[in-house]
Structure 1
Amino acid sequence: MSAIKTKLNDAVKDAMRAKDKERLATLRLATSALKQVEVDERIELDDTRVLAILDKMVKQRKDSVEQFTQGGRDDLAQKELAEIDVLKEFLPEAMDDAAIAAIIQAAIAETGAEGMKDMGNVMAIVKPQVQGRADMGAVSKKVKELLG
């Protein structure tokens, strides 16, 4: 079993003992998302895949915060922000821009990329290294800058 998944299940038990309903609800959302993928694909998730799912959940909540804020629903935006905080506990430490740039440069050198047509090859190497530790949209933008 994935170490992150184990940590998540332990956090669910701790939240139940502490009677922390909001935290428990968020943790249960995460565990159900993981279980859904396992059942649909009939696989046991590894850490990389768990990180990708949690990262996607954080991104969805960030989008929701933006929508709720524009709609004047600050109460719902605060709820989403609280969920983001809980989910981020299970993601690795965020990478700084210099580290991301170094990974991208190494991937460009490794693939011999010369232009935008090689972006897919570069991203295939970069993505597993930064998944859950950096915003993939920003990483993609940086790759485009360096290849363009």
Structure 2
Amino acid sequence: MLFERINKDFISAYKAKEEVKVAVLRLLKTAIKNASVEFGREPDEAEVLDIVLKQAKQRRESIEQYSKAGRDDLADREVAELAILEGYLPQRLSDEELSAEIDALIAETGAEGMKDMGRVMKLLNERFKGRIDGRAASETVKAKLS
């Protein structure tokens, strides 16, 4: 379903001559195709989502690196590409929602200290894959368990 949407959007962006969107979706389609060769089958919905998440993470890291190096022109292009990729990701949890979900998971798992952080993070990542920022979640869990 997600892969079909990516294909449809690629075709419409190509017809509309949206260069940045075409480039991003072409790279995304290639990554999905490579995964299908690697798996020996078409990737399922979760695997396609993982690919989109990986591409978005790469863009975020590039933005950070380009900004540090003072290359705002390249950072701006990566920001535009990230915006396109985020259109294929589920809506992120707000800070308040994230905090409430972490509190619920801490209560559910009986986590009492930093030794239980891995268990809480594992459940959080399983339940809200693609909907949380791992770094922010980790900091929040660490603050609540300290």
Number of aligned residues = 146
State the partner residue of 1:15.
Answer: 13
**CA offsets 1:71-125 (integer angstroms, 9 cap, x no match):** 2222211111110111011112221111111211221122111122212211121
Secondary structure of the residue aligned to 2:89 is: coil
State the partner residue of 1:48.
Answer: 46
Tell me if the contact between 1:55 and 1:131 (Cα under 8 Å) persists in the aligned partners.
no
Secondary structure of the residue aligned to 1:94 is: coil
Question: Is 1:88 the counterpart of 2:122 in the alignment?
Answer: no
Query: Could you tell me which of 108, 114, 117 is aligned with 1:116?
Result: 114
| Alpha-carbon shift at residue 13 of structure 1 (Å) | 1.4
- The 10-residue stretch of structure 1 (93-102 or 45-54) with the greater mean CA deviation from structure 2: 45-54
| Alpha-carbon shift at residue 48 of structure 1 (Å) | 3.2
What is the identity, as a one-letter code, of the residue corresponding to 1:125?
L
**CA offsets 1:23-50 (integer angstroms, 9 cap, x no match):** 1110111122222233223354333333
For 1:33 and 1:123, locate their aligned partners in 2 and report how far apart those are by CA, in whole Å: 27
Q: Which has the higher contact order (CA 8 A, sep 6+)?
A: 1
Tell me if the contact between 1:100 and 1:130 (Cα under 8 Å) persists in the aligned partners.
no
For 2:126 and 2:42, locate their aligned partners in 1 and report how far apart those are by CA, in whole Å: 18
Instruction: State the TM-score, normalized to the length of structure 1.
Output: 0.87
What is the identity, as a one-letter code, of the residue corresponding to 2:137?
V
Instruction: State the TM-score, normalized to the length of structure 2.
Output: 0.88
Tell me if the contact between 1:54 and 1:132 (Cα under 8 Å) persists in the aligned partners.
no
What is the identity, as a one-letter code, of the residue corresponding to 2:38?
D
Kindly, what percent of the aligned residue pairs are identical?
42
- The 10-residue stretch of structure 1 (45-54 or 96-105) with the greater mean CA deviation from structure 2: 45-54
Q: Which runs of 5+ in 2 are unaligned?
A: none
Secondary structure of the residue aligned to 2:70 is: coil
What is the identity, as a one-letter code, of the residue corresponding to 2:100?
A
What is the identity, as a one-letter code, of the residue corresponding to 1:105?
D
For 1:115 and 1:52, locate their aligned partners in 2 and report how far apart those are by CA, in whole Å: 30
